[in-house]
Structure 1
Amino acid sequence: MRFDYDIAPVTGDSKWFTEARFGMYIHWGLYALGARHEWLKGREFMTNEQYHKYFKRFDPDLYDPELWAQLAADAGMKYFVVTAKHHEGFCLWDTKQTDYNVMHTPAGRDLLRPMLDAFRARDIRAGLYYSLLDWHHPHYTVDVKHPLRYNQAFLDAQREKDWQRYIDFMFAQTRELLTEYGKIDVMFLDFSIPPLEGFPGKGAQEWQSERFIRMVRELQPQIMLNDRLGIPGDITTPEQYQPRGWIRVGGRRVIWEACHTFSGSWGYYRDEESWKSVDTLVKMLIDTVAKGGNLLLNVGPTGRGEIDERAVDRLRGIGEWMKRHSRSIYGCTAAPDGLAAPGDCRFTYNPDTHRLYLHIFSWPFKNLHLPGFSGKVEYAQLLNDASEIRMVEGEQEMTMEAGAFNEGRPADTLTLQLPVKQPNVTVPVIELFLR
């Protein structure tokens, strides 16, 4: 018995992506020095001159990409995406298109290349984030997100800007990244802006998205692209929320990726305290895969180049769970239609091994009933230690045990007989070998 899904076709190489399921997002730039959100330039309406203090002092002397890559590998992450350039316009690589790059800071070296090398050495796929917005470029025009949208001098200077010069710059930088840094497996382009509050928008026409994507495909035909250019991409990217089910576009299931932070910020935020627990993050990963998606989980390194100790703690906790449960994640997807998980549980399914994984978010007392599963499961075991879970199928007669009646079970119900004590893991998983 095989189960297939009708998924909208993509242009890039999606096979590895839907097998990987778990990736690391990295937001790192000058905003790490401000340490109060990656949008601080926009939130505080800062000019280039006011923001320049961070450029003058960017010197991540403790940066060790080998440590970053090992943290990701130990957490079970199979790909990563790093902000080569965020909205502030600062570039982590030795770009020839602008001096507003890491080579002209106290760091004085390309930070992107050794990062790509370190992650690839651990068989982690390489991804780049590139901001379509650029608050530093002299020809980037005003919109509702621009830090200087209420600055009259900036507004008066709009007539002097040549938008095509910015587009040429954007194309040239993308060409650099896709020709000088090896194979790039996924590119996260961010983002189109609707017209709001009387400010013009920026979408497919402004970005010249069709021409842009043609160039990207010519340079790296296998690359996976997201959907933020104002036209459809390979990957749909819900941000900071969990969808109710497998995302559909035009009625068809699509490849999708939820991107989330550990806390409320993407960049390093020293004083932010709404950090998610390991338990919550593991459940978020499970819930995403159970709905056919990927989870891209973000870290925001400090200005000295270290990953925040709070993020390290969570990554290690996730890695401890993944060490014993990763086969319920890698290569898995939503359960076949008609196989519904019990309350406060999630199913993931591996179509190659024909195994179903029952993730139990709240441990029940002794019995877990699966209506409709009678006759469908050959064997069941806890995934963390491969210990058998005994099963009772179909109808049972009323019997007397210890002075109490056992109720009969519906004919189509499979009952899993669980230990009273929950296994000592963040989220227990029962592996069901389907017939």
Structure 2
Amino acid sequence: MFTKSFIALSLLAVSSLASQIPAPKAERPSDAQAFLKKQGKDAELFVGNENKRQWWVDSRFGVFMHWNPSSIEGTSISWGRGGLRPHHSSKENKKGVPAERYDNLYKEFNPVKFDADAWIKMVKESGAKYFVFTSKHHDGFCMFETKHTDYNIMNTPFKRDICKELAEACEKYGIKLFFYYSQPDWNHADYKKKDLTDYNKFLHAQIAELLDYPALAGIWWDGLGKHIDNWNGTELVKMIKAKRPDILMNPRFATRKWRFGDYDTPEQEIGGFQIDRPWETCLTMGQKWSHVHNTKQVLPFEVCMRSLIRCAGGDGNLLLNVGPTPEGTIRQVEQDNYRRMGQWLKKYGESIYATRGGPYKPAHWGMSTRTEKAIYLHVLQHWPDGVLEIADPGLKVLKAEALTGGDLRFSQKDGKLILNLDASSHDPANTLIKLTTEGSPLTLEVIEAEQTGKALNRQAGVTITPSSESDRGPASVLIKGGKEFVSGAHHRKAWTGLHSDKKPFLEIDLGSIKIFSKVAIEERMAWTDMCRGFFLEYQAPDGSWKEITKGDYLGYFTVDFKPVTAQKVRVRFVNHERPTAVMSFDIFE
């Protein structure tokens, strides 16, 4: 599909030796620093310990599951509930499942096909090293046996402690367990009060119960951005660390911008390159966090695999979510994706596990990871002429080999590393190249991404015309500002068309005639059904539209092509059931 394309990729040829990769040092706002100063020697309890979380950093891959009685309706867990959302919004949600119906779904919840052993065996086979499960979401329903509320799994027809069974299976298969726990509780009577003193006693008591479960390695908080004092969080964290000093925590027990906990949590998008603090992208394989009935709304294997590679290349982890069915099963298409990822990791896990991102920053051609002895190039972009030219890494390359197959040739001279691999040997998901070096790649400073310059569409005088746009994000987000992940951020805006739009497109007018030869488009995968077909085109002088290239799944798509001279560029989306969401549509010289 890229018969007109050619690749001539270059990176800045600037690298130098450093003593080591910088240790994590998060920049925190002044109020967070004041809080930590007040804690004195206990400050580490709130920001984590590098040595204690090293196993997690080395793991790179975890499986997430959102599940509770909401799966009966096939709606978003908690967010699909109608009614009020105390301490979150003063407006009543009138679009969801009526609260009276939603809050009584537990009386029908009887997942007779649930098999904790089978679930965690699949997690093991996926190559993931840890598992995160929703013990309690915002709707307040508890998937574990608790003494502190009747709104729990033991009062369903099922009457089995799902969290306990999963914990025991994790212990059996050597999988580390995290419990997702929502501090907000839209069902609990005490959470509906202005003063949360009584509610916080309940919250603390429940966490104390969960700390006794086997295989527990961490708590995955979801406080919806509230201040740590909302939950009497200082005492909560001290209680947890006193009982379980080894417990890891994400930052959502406090305001996200404080960057507390062991790692940042970008959501539903791949985090940017960040080696000064660990991070984890949480991403849904389907459209929603919980079960939906349409099996077509599932990311293909190639997108799942590339998401893991992009996380590792940015020095982060991937937490990939599915929502089990009301019967307690995981859909076959989702199981297949996980197991195919595991098969890939069995072959090429050396390029993911226990690696660090870099030394090359993420580029349009792909990502890099490194260990003490090797650099791994993950080439995600198509390069049909078989030549990849990048900056010299700063160490002598003793050997270069294509782990995914093929006869790779290389030369290293004049500040460049040139790799030759016949197009027939390129892997559709990831062409993986291993560079064995003289000296440790971990000593290298980061090499900047290729010199593409500022995207033409993000310069003055540019306009964009969408076929339609919803209230989720105007098309203007694609031509204004930057697109890089901001440390500690939750998620970015994206353009989305209307459901009624049968022929969606985005058209960029560069303001004047320009010459360009590279386009990068990133889809927001979780908001919509994945794009299954697209055409990239430019407008010729006679007003007709000419094809540059076309493709199927979009995800994160980049292409280089013979230089085009034009003022207008567009992408048309075809073969989709729901609107496509686009986070970036960048055009380069």
| TM-score interval for Structure 1 and Structure 2 normalised by the shorter chain | 0.7 to 0.9
Pick aligned residue for 2:266 from 232, 238, 241:
238
Shift of 1:270: 0.9
SS state at 2:201 partner: helix
| Contact 2:267–2:282 (CA under 8 A) maintained in structure 1 | yes
Match of 2:80 in 1: 40
| Contact 1:36–1:271 (CA under 8 A) maintained in structure 2 | no
Pick aligned residue for 2:409 from 385, 390, 393:
390
Pick aligned residue for 1:372 from 369, 392, 412:
392
Match of 2:570 in 1: none
Q: Distance in 1 between matches of 2:153 and 2:142?
A: 6
Shift of 1:48: 5.1
SS state at 2:423 partner: coil
Match of 2:378 in 1: 359
Match of 2:66 in 1: 27
Partner letter of residue 171 of structure 1?
H
Pick aligned residue for 2:208 from 143, 158, 175:
175
Match of 1:11 in 2: 48
Q: Distance in 2 between matches of 1:182 and 1:91?
A: 18
Where does 1:60-139 land on structure 2 (aligned, <5 Å)? 60-139=111-190
Unmatched 5+ residue regions in structure 2? 1-16, 26-43, 83-92, 439-589
Match of 1:414 in 2: 417
What is the aligned-residue RMSD (CA, Å)? 2.2
Shift of 1:341: 6.3
Where does 1:156-305 land on structure 2 (aligned, <5 Å)? 158=193, 163-178=196-211, 180-193=212-225, 202-231=226-255, 232-246=260-274, 253-271=276-294, 273-305=296-328
| Contact 2:175–2:215 (CA under 8 A) maintained in structure 1 | no
Check 1:217–1:430 CA distance in 2 against 1; reply closer, same or farther (3 A cut): same
Partner letter of residue 41 of structure 1?
R
Q: Distance in 1 between matches of 2:147 and 2:374?
A: 51
| Contact 1:259–1:296 (CA under 8 A) maintained in structure 2 | yes
Check 1:374–1:207 CA distance in 2 against 1; reply closer, same or farther (3 A cut): closer
Q: Distance in 2 between matches of 1:217 and 1:284?
A: 33
Check 1:163–1:45 CA distance in 2 against 1; reply closer, same or farther (3 A cut): farther
| Contact 2:127–2:342 (CA under 8 A) maintained in structure 1 | yes
Shift of 1:68: 1.0
Decide which structure has greater strand share: 2
Match of 1:381 in 2: 401
Check 1:103–1:330 CA distance in 2 against 1; reply closer, same or farther (3 A cut): same
Number of matched pairs: 382
Deviations 1:5-24 (A, max 9, x none): 23128424211010001000
Q: Distance in 2 between matches of 1:209 and 1:287?
A: 33
Partner letter of residue 137 of structure 1?
H
Match of 2:330 in 1: 307
Q: Distance in 2 between matches of 1:311 and 1:100?
A: 30
Among all aligned residue pairs of Structure 1 and Structure 2, give the percentage whose two residues are the same amino acid.
30
Q: Distance in 2 between matches of 1:433 and 1:73?
A: 30
Match of 2:356 in 1: 333
| Contact 1:346–1:358 (CA under 8 A) maintained in structure 2 | yes
Q: Distance in 1 between matches of 2:342 and 2:428?
A: 12
Q: Distance in 2 between matches of 1:354 and 1:3?
A: 14
Q: Distance in 1 between matches of 2:23 and 2:218?
A: 23
Partner letter of residue 345 of structure 1?
G
SS state at 2:378 partner: strand
Q: Distance in 2 between matches of 1:133 and 1:341?
A: 36
SS state at 1:41 partner: coil
Q: Distance in 2 between matches of 1:242 and 1:282?
A: 12
| Contact 1:342–1:370 (CA under 8 A) maintained in structure 2 | no
SS state at 1:227 partner: coil
Match of 1:346 in 2: 367
SS state at 2:325 partner: coil
Q: Distance in 2 between matches of 1:422 and 1:277?
A: 22
Match of 1:408 in 2: none
| Contact 1:264–1:272 (CA under 8 A) maintained in structure 2 | no
| Contact 1:227–1:235 (CA under 8 A) maintained in structure 2 | yes
Shift of 1:272: 6.9
Q: Distance in 2 between matches of 1:115 and 1:341?
A: 36
Q: Distance in 1 between matches of 2:222 and 2:69?
A: 18
Tell me the TM-score normalised to structure 1 length: 0.82
Shift of 1:363: 3.6
| Contact 1:393–1:414 (CA under 8 A) maintained in structure 2 | yes
Q: Distance in 1 between matches of 2:284 and 2:20?
A: 33
Match of 1:403 in 2: none
Unmatched 5+ residue regions in structure 1? 142-157, 194-201, 248-252, 395-410
Deviations 1:307-357 (A, max 9, x none): 122312321332232221211110112113xx456642210112xx32111
Deviations 1:244-303 (A, max 9, x none): 3217xxxxx211111000122001011374422211111111111111111100010011
Q: Distance in 2 between matches of 1:45 and 1:392?
A: 60
| Contact 1:345–1:358 (CA under 8 A) maintained in structure 2 | yes
Shift of 1:393: 2.5
Shift of 1:183: 4.3
Q: Distance in 1 between matches of 2:412 and 2:425?
A: 23
| Contact 1:382–1:389 (CA under 8 A) maintained in structure 2 | yes
